[in-house]
Structure 1
């Protein structure tokens, strides 16, 4: 039902933007499959960078989990993220439960997800900075336009403020002695909210206690994750012969990422596809080649991951052993 709904949303979002079916099929069948193979390899590197980042963060907290187990969690949570409403939140909860199953404390699992989210913003910020610098070398007049600089500055300030605030809260709580125990409330909702806030505070403090090196490494891994996904799109464009430069394509990609953060549909189905097709055609591509490139990219980065992630989720349901969870 989710697949049918996603296809219906995609058809609605792309209505009137697809070219003649014969031109579209001609662009698909005429694609260079060496470039498509490269695109698949780049998407695999993107997922591997995400998995390795998770493993390194957990290692920084003193938790050792095997590479195969971490990769399986990454594939399963990616499939959840792109197939369910509010998929990012659901996939994060799923990953946290899997790490707890593997022997990680709840606070550490939650802290690793918080750190991962912040470093994701940092990695995307690095791409914005690098892309902005490349564009400015071609047209310095863009310095007078505040919008791109505001986006980069906002992302950087958000990450820095979260880290600094967490460190200060950690020091403040460490300097205070524990007060008298509060009387327990009979309200289950209040008790649940209290436990949730306590767990979130402990996770925040644990994440803020990481050294700067762990934050930098995590950010760089996420930058690789974003960059290889961008290069995957570039490879699919080359596969159908799109005459779009890498800098122009980077601008389209980074612009779509802003739209992608608004969870209007599972996996951005319809929204992302429409934005990419519109951006490529505005850059000079024909409707047939733009649609073919986007379809190939989305099959590799989205639809192909659903059965792979489902298989990984089934594998993770098996009883855990030390050989599967530790190197």
Structure 2
């Protein structure tokens, strides 16, 4: 479900911090696993520059992403009067929201919390495969904080990746392990997302034909390639271009360190069958529970929609949000596409808009609020007085305790995390 820099306050880049990092080793001593030059960019504190004397860019260039976001948002608001006849009736929407079924709304909240919890557990499981044990509450905090950065800031996904990398490092992960977890988690969730989307297309009678036609070409290629890969000479011919590209990347001064790190992922993460079963299950829960939240929101306002229709509406909204990435969290594009999809499946406009509004209230706004609380709880907030910081930390712990209580939704909540002592970095 899951992305300018929200800069945490840190000392300058050329001043070593005497304060040890939480839940991890000090970074001011020698480390045999220190990242390379390209990796140091990720570990460099926010606000540090490559050269102290480098000229600073004009403010409008530094804030270009934020200005562009606000410009698009203001244009969208200015265009609303032109489409007022096509908009849902606010009175009917409010009536549907006021009379929403409490049982279904409880299901919305639990499903969203379970979806976020599944992704947090997926990353935690990958860290465990790499030999690092991370507390469940910290894994939840990193997941929620990364989601808040990703969905509310300009260039949010990139900021979220850098932030998650830093938090994994502070939790004791090596640079290779942190990179491997981020990349492997993205590949697993994206693959699961694609499979669930294809299944939803195949279930619906109207989309089954186009989906099968689209799958015919890759299926035919797969049928032809699998026998060829069994013979040494055809296999060598087919794999020669990727091998040449990899060698060229290794020789490139900028791409070389990244190619080395990507190649080393399989040495860092070696999941067994039980790990794969857990990872695939958690990735599936991440998407299925989010779709279930939309389905429950629709039923809460009296819309009788099939599960595969809710899934198609969900994936259409995700696609619309990715096409218009300038708006934080796909605001406007996601809601409009989701409501239009529900209407296409037979729902009235005002109840459909009410269902989408309830779903987004929980899945976006509530999750973002919890994410910023988690961000403060991870000691990444502004410099505050000790009393205010203690109160915020207490509120953050309370929220995270409530979020981690949904861990019972995962069948892997009771799996003990045991790692050998030598897996820890010195």
TM-score range, shorter chain: 0.7 to 0.9
Distance 1:31 1:143, change over 3 A: closer
Counterpart of 1:323 in structure 2 is none
Distance 1:148 1:117, change over 3 A: farther
Instruction: Give distance in 2, aligned partners of 1:122 and 1:83.
Output: 25
Is 1:287 the counterpart of 2:349? The answer is yes
Instruction: Give distance in 1, aligned partners of 2:260 and 2:168.
Output: 19
Could you tell me how far 1:86 is from its partner in structure 2?
3.2
Instruction: Give distance in 2, aligned partners of 1:151 and 1:115.
Output: 28
Root-mean-square deviation (Å):
3.5
Counterpart of 1:41 in structure 2 is 110
Q: 1:37-71 deviations in whole A, cap 9, x for unaligned?
A: 21001101111101111111111111111111101
Instruction: Give distance in 2, aligned partners of 1:222 and 1:235.
Output: 20
For residue 298 of structure 2, the aligned residue among 203, 223, 237 is: 237
Counterpart of 1:321 in structure 2 is none
Unaligned runs of 5+ residues in structure 2 are 1-65, 223-228, 230-238, 381-416, 419-426
Structure whose CA Rg is larger: 2
Counterpart of 2:88 in structure 1 is 19
Instruction: Give distance in 2, aligned partners of 1:206 and 1:97.
Output: 21
Q: 1:69-123 deviations in whole A, cap 9, x for unaligned?
A: 1011111111112112332232122111101001100110000011101101122
For residue 246 of structure 1, the aligned residue among 307, 320, 336 is: 307
Instruction: Give distance in 1, aligned partners of 2:190 and 2:164.
Output: 19
Distance 1:257 1:112, change over 3 A: same
Unaligned runs of 5+ residues in structure 1 are 158-163, 177-181, 183-189, 319-325
Counterpart of 2:7 in structure 1 is none
Counterpart of 1:186 in structure 2 is none
Instruction: Give distance in 2, aligned partners of 1:39 and 1:13.
Output: 32
Contact kept in structure 2, 1:9 and 1:269, CA below 8 Å? no
User: What count of residue pairs does the alignment treat as equivalent?
Assistant: 287
Counterpart of 1:256 in structure 2 is 317
Instruction: Give distance in 2, aligned partners of 1:286 and 1:151.
Output: 36
Counterpart of 2:335 in structure 1 is 273
Counterpart of 1:127 in structure 2 is 196
Is 1:228 the counterpart of 2:289? The answer is yes
Instruction: Give distance in 1, aligned partners of 2:200 and 2:97.
Output: 29
Instruction: Give distance in 2, aligned partners of 1:294 and 1:219.
Output: 28
Distance 1:151 1:8, change over 3 A: farther
Instruction: Give distance in 2, aligned partners of 1:290 and 1:151.
Output: 35
Correspondences of 1:212-227 after superposition (within 5 Å): 213-227=274-288
Higher helix share: 1
Is 1:101 the counterpart of 2:163? The answer is no
Greater length-normalized contact order (CA 8 Å, ≥ 6 residues apart)? 1
Distance 1:207 1:147, change over 3 A: farther
Counterpart of 1:308 in structure 2 is 370
Could you tell me how far 1:34 is from its partner in structure 2?
2.2
